[in-house]
Every structure is written in C-alpha cells, then in structure tokens.
Amino acid sequence: MSILLSVFYFFYFSIVAVYIIFIPKVLFTLHYTPQEIGVIFAAAPLVRLLLPLLFAKGFRLTSERFNIALILMIVSSFAFCSFVDDFYKLLLSNIFLGMGISLVLPYVEVISLEKLGKENYGKVRLFGSVGFVLVSLFLVRFLDTPTRPLDFLVGLNIITAIVAFIIAKVLSHSEKKEEEIQNDINVFKDWRLWMALILMQVSFGAFYNFFTIYATANGISMDMTIKLWVFGVLAEILMLYSQARFLRKNLLLVLEITFLVTTLRWFLVYLFADNIYILYFSQSLHAFSFALFHSAAIAYLHHLYKNKALAQQYFSGITYGLGGFSGALLSGVIYEHYPSYIFLSSALLALSGSVFMSIFKKEMGKRPNT
C-alpha cells in the first residue's frame, strides 16, 4: 500500500520538476517571448484558483470524474508536445493539463490520509521530493535536443496516470457525504492576511517560471542551475523534518519571519546573479520561504477557521492559484522589458507581503478571543 502511494508521489512530483525547471527553457529556446511564457504558465494556477471554488459550491470528485481527469492528463500532455509551436493551441493544452493534474492529486491525497494516517503520511509524501530531485539530475544528462523535456513530460504523465488508476482501484476510499460545517471564512474581513499570502506567491512567479532562464542568462551553466534547484529541495526536506519546534511558537510571528527571509532571498538573487556561492545560500532559504511558510500558513488557517477543509481549499485556490497566476503574468512582463530587475521586483513583493502580515498581526492582537 505505502509502496504504491510512494511510487505515485515520486512520479507526480517528477512531472512538476520537468514542468517548472525545463519547460520554460524549452519555450525560450523555441523563441517564445518572456511575456508569452508568463501567459502560458499562468494557465495552471488559474485552474487551481477556480477548482476550489467549485468544491465550495458542492462539486464532488467522484471515481468517474477522477478517471476522466486521468485521461485528460494523458491526452493534454500529448497535445502540449504536439502543439508546442503554436501559442494558442499550447495555451489551451496547458489549461487542460492543469485541470487534470489539479484534480488527480486531491483524490489520491484523500486515499493516502485514509489508509496511512497523519503519522505515516509525511514519510510517503517525501518520495515526491525524491522524485523531483532525481528526475532533475537525470534529465539534465539527456538534453541532446532542446525539446527532449517534452518527451519526459508525456512519459511521466502516462506513468503517473497508470499508477493513480491502480491506486484508485486497489485502495479505493468511501465517498460518503461529509458532515456539513458552516463556512466561517471571511476573506474580506481578513483581507490583510490573504493579501499577504497572495503577495508571497506572486513573488515566486519569477522563481518558478524564469529562474532557469535567468540563471543561465547570467553565465550559470544548465548543469549547475539544476543543482541549485535540487539544493533548494534538499533544504526544503530538512525543514519539513525539523519544523515542529517552529510551529509550536507564535505562528503569525513565524510567518512574518518567512516573509522577511524571502525578501532577503530574492534580493540576493538580484544582486549576485552570477555568484554561485551566494545563489546556493539563497536556495538554502527555500527551507523558510516555501517549507516553513507553507506549514505555518496551513497551521494558522486551521487555528483561525472552523471549516478546516474549506480553509485548505481556499489557501490552495487563493494563495497558490491567484498568487501563482498573477506572479506568472507579472514576471513575464517584467522579464520581457526589464530582465535584470525581475528578482528585485520579487523582493519588493515579498516585502509588501510582510507589511500586510505585520498589520494583520497587530489587528489580531486587538480582537477578542484571539
């Protein structure tokens, strides 16, 4: 059981590695402009924004819809590869690919938590990070043609879909109706908190969509750039193992710290784009700006709201969906016109997020029962 789930996570996050590390460089090599790349990569976060809203309105991911999502993953990955020379067809293919991928993971996550429990879930999910690292190191050795990552994208989608289908058949979960819990999430009341979370992900737009292009343009080899990506993931894994002591403290203070560390991270990338030692240090900060931020944000939202499941969906949709969508578009525009300033803009966005977080923290100190 755990082996089957581990295999799924390994290949699922291998897709993520190919998608965010190699595909932007492929499109850049095929003479797509940075703005066009930004638009294409904004499609998946947009889908991620819309899907949780459907769940909030009563949409249920049944086994039949799950199977459709698997087919969508495979077909759209083939379309992505076939239409790579046509902007609009590629954009449409990426939208459908985002739909399939965004539906498959939540379904398997439910099965994982049901079968493994919270105590063992993390040990299995860790294989996702392992897949990300190994595929990154493996694929860089086979870049004999500029479009080789597209072949890997298709192959990994097929393998992931097959493994997910087997999991759904062998480890199927009950689709009983969940107990209705009142929606107590008021985004407008807590708009400073949500604005801070969104700005954090907007600041990541430059990193997820243009770091490979940016680093290689500043004289860092492709091989070394991949090692920088891997180093960041290793730092993330270490933080996931040791973050418990941070999460027992004031969560809003922890979030403030992650914003400031992220600001420092992007500012260092801006100032020392060609300094490999500084870039490695900046990648080590991924432990704070991604791993600790993510865990602290989830923990705080679970503390703040009673409807914890919907809070998770809102966090995914609003923070990663809207934030990722806006970050992809904005970073594409900035890199097209002011490429050297793309990570300076990221630093300013993260700093703005820290301001909103600080204001929210002071506001919560004045609220009763907080």
316/128 Cα distance (integer angstroms)? 18
258/87 Cα distance (integer angstroms)? 37
Alpha carbon distances (Å) from 312 to 26, 297, 306:
33, 10, 11
For the chain, report the end-to-end CA distance as a whole number of angstroms: 41
pLDDT of residue 337: 93
Whether 81 contacts 19, CB under 8 Å: no
Q: What is the pLDDT along the chain (370 residues), one digit of tens a residue?
A: 688 888 998 999 999 999 988 999 899 999 899 999 999 988 878 887 777 666 656 566 677 888 898 999 999 999 999 999 999 999 999 999 988 887 888 778 777 767 766 446 656 777 888 898 898 888 877 777 778 899 999 999 999 999 999 988 887 655 444 445 566 778 888 999 999 999 999 999 999 989 999 999 999 999 999 999 999 989 988 887 777 778 787 899 999 999 999 999 999 999 999 999 999 999 999 999 988 898 888 888 878 888 766 777 778 778 888 898 899 999 999 999 999 999 999 999 999 999 999 999 998 877 766 5
Question: Between vectors from CA 22 to CA 215 and to CA 7, what angle results, nearest 5°?
Answer: 130
Alpha carbon distances (Å) from 233 to 13, 81, 301:
12, 27, 24
Alpha carbon distances (Å) from 185 to 60, 182, 208:
20, 9, 29
pLDDT in tens, 128-161: 888 988 988 888 777 777 788 999 999 999 999 9
Phi/psi of residue 108, nearest 5 degrees: -70, -35
**Residue 327: count of CB within 10 angstroms of its CB:** 29
pLDDT of residue 8: 92
Give the domains, in start order, of the chain with CATH numbers: 1-177 (1.20.1250.20), 184-370 (1.20.1250.20)
Query: What proportions of the chain, in percent to the nearest 5, are helix, strand and coil?
Result: 85, 0, 15
DSSP per-residue string spanning 30-48 = TT--HHHHHHHHHHHHHHH
Alpha carbon distances (Å) from 22 to 19, 70, 220, 284, 313:
6, 23, 15, 21, 28
99/258 Cα distance (integer angstroms)? 30
Among the listed residues 219, 241, 262, the one whose alpha carbon sits nearest the alpha carbon of residue 348: 262
Rg for the chain, CA atoms, rounded:
20
Helix (H/G/I), strand (E/B), else coil: 145: coil
Whether 295 contacts 243, CB under 8 Å: yes
Q: Going by C-beta distance under 8 Å and a sequence separation of 6 or more, which residues neighbour residue 47?
A: 95, 98, 99, 102, 321
pLDDT in tens, 187-210: 888 999 999 999 999 999 999 989
Place of tokens 């499609």: 43
- Compute CA 253 distance to the chain's CA centroid, rounded to the nearest angstrom: 23
Burial 34-49 (b: 16+ CB within 10 A, else e): bbbbbbbbbbbbbbbb
Place of tokens 């594409």: 332
